Amino acid sequence: MPEGDTVWNTARVLHRALAGARITGSDFRVPQLATTDLTGWTVRESASRGKHLLLRLDTPTGEHWSLHSHLRMDGAWRAYAPGERWSGRSAHLIRVVLRSPGAVAVGYHLHELTLVPTADEDHLVGHLGPDLLGPDWDPDEAVRRLAEHPEQTIGEALLDQRNLAGVGNLYKCEVLFLRGVSPWTPVGGVPDLPGLVALAQRLLAANRGRWTQSSTGSLHRGQTSYVYGRRAQPCRRCGTAIRKEELGERVTYWCPVCQPERPAPPPAG
């Protein structure tokens, strides 16, 4: 599941494959960019912002542009050596191919593929809250944004990228389990919001640099999560059957015993 750590890893793969390279051929397979040709452009860098990817390029005349993409649930970028077989996904999922002398980058099932002047990146990612894996990560600002909507459920608030950028459904479920907080708890009723935010950041950071996402510390198949994807299986702490229900637009997993629901505190004064 592409969450902040996966997107961070992907940005690093693209950076290693393409940074400094001149594009020798591009092939966009989306209508909005069908006539775009990046041949002769140079890749400056690849960066992630929450779950958004930004491939920054210079035109031959030195203008700065950014190729933006979003992986959502199923997108991926792969880098191949020239001549290597493209083994990542089915060919019909390819949305863009970028060729350079040293590597070929292939984007599969990408969403929101857009090319904008780098100066306009904010139109695409300016609404995002602090990036959990960004160089400018600001936990106080993330807590402040979350606390602005005390009546919202914490399960929905953690997925709202305007509060903090990078948490997806997996880490949301896992962080709430680890903190013993029901996903239905209103933000205002969460006992230690800064502690919860700090744990979310640590979990994502710990999973940087590898593709297997784990919140338990185990990388063995079937043992990487406490609650996510474990409906009806016994809680690893108390043995109660893990539950799965819809919450907002997403499903959520939780242990009803380890994560009791807490009411919101009465309004102050």
Residues that bind Zn ion (CB under 5 A): 235, 237-238, 240, 255, 257-258
Considering the complex, what minimum distance in angstroms separates the CB of residue 123 from Zn ion? 44
Residue 73 or residue 238: which is nearer to Zn ion going by CB? Answer: 238
Q: Of the two residues 91 and 238, which places its CB atom closer to Zn ion in the complex?
A: 238
Q: For the chain, what percentages of helix, strand and coil (3-state, to nearest 5) are there?
A: 25, 25, 50
Q: Which two tokens stand for residue 90?
A: 């089915």
The helix (run of H) or strand (run of E) holding residue 200 is helix 193-206
Decide if 51 is catalytic: yes
- Report residue 217 as tokens: 């510390």
Question: Does residue 48 sit in helix, strand or coil?
Answer: strand
Active site residue 244: no
Closest distance between Zn ion and the C-beta of residue 222, in Å? 18
Catalytic residue status for 2:
yes
- Taking the complex as a whole, the smallest distance from the CB of residue 217 to Zn ion amounts, in Å, to 17
Q: Which of 39/218 has CB closer to Zn ion?
A: 218
- Contacts (Cβ under 8 Å, ≥6 apart) of 177: 226, 227, 254, 255, 258, 259
Catalytic residue among 29, 144, 236, 250: 250
Task: Provide the token pair at 115.
Answer: 């090319």
* Residue 179 in tokens: 């903190």
List 2, 130, 183, 186, catalytic entry? 2
- Taking the least distance from each CB to Zn ion, the nearer of 238 and 264 is 238
At closest approach, how far in Å is the CB of 1 from Zn ion? 22
Q: E strands, 84-124, where?
A: 94-99, 104-108, 111-117
Concatenated DSSP letters of 252-263? EEE-TTTS---P
Set 44, 51, 145, 172: catalytic member: 51
CB distance 229 to 214 below 8 Å: no
Half-sphere exposure of 106 (CA within 13 A, CB side): 19
Please report how close the Cβ of residue 128 comes to Zn ion at its closest, in angstroms: 33
| Exposure string for 182-194, b = 16+ CB within 10 A, e = fewer | bbbbbbbbbeebe
Nearer to Zn ion, 139 or 180 (CB): 180
Residue 195 tokens read as 């502690």
Query: Would you name the residues annotated as active-site residues?
Result: 2-3, 51, 250
